[in-house]
Amino acid sequence: MGTLLVTGANRGLGLEFARQYAADGWRVLATCRDPGAARELRQLAAASAGHIAVVALDITDPASVRAAAQSLAGTAIDVLVNNAGVGSPKNQRLGQLDYTAWARVLDVNTLGPMRVTEAFLDHVAAGGERKLVTITSAMGSIADNASGGSYAYRSSKAAVNIVMKSLSIDLAPRGITCVVLHPGWVRTDLGGPGGRISPAESVAGMRRVIARLTPADTGRFFTYDGGSYPW
Beta carbons of 56 and 64 less than 8 angstroms apart: yes
Which residues 6+ apart lie within 8 Å of 213 measured at CB? Answer: 131, 177, 179
Pick left, alpha or beta for residue 34 (phi over 0 → left; psi -120 to 50 → alpha; otherwise beta): beta
User: Among 137, 142, 83, 133, which Cα is nearest to 112's?
Assistant: 83
Element (H, E) at 84: none
Element (H, E) at 24: none
State how far the Cα of 41 lies from the Cα of 221, in Å rounded to an integer: 29
Sign of CA dihedral 129, 206, 150, 62: negative
Beta carbons of 125 and 79 less than 8 angstroms apart: no
State how far the Cα of 146 lies from the Cα of 160, in Å rounded to an integer: 20
Annotated catalytic residue within 21, 99, 151, 224 = 151
Sign of CA dihedral 151, 219, 56, 111: negative
Cα 184 to the center of its chain, rounded Å:
14
151 is catalytic: yes
Residues assigned a catalytic role: 151
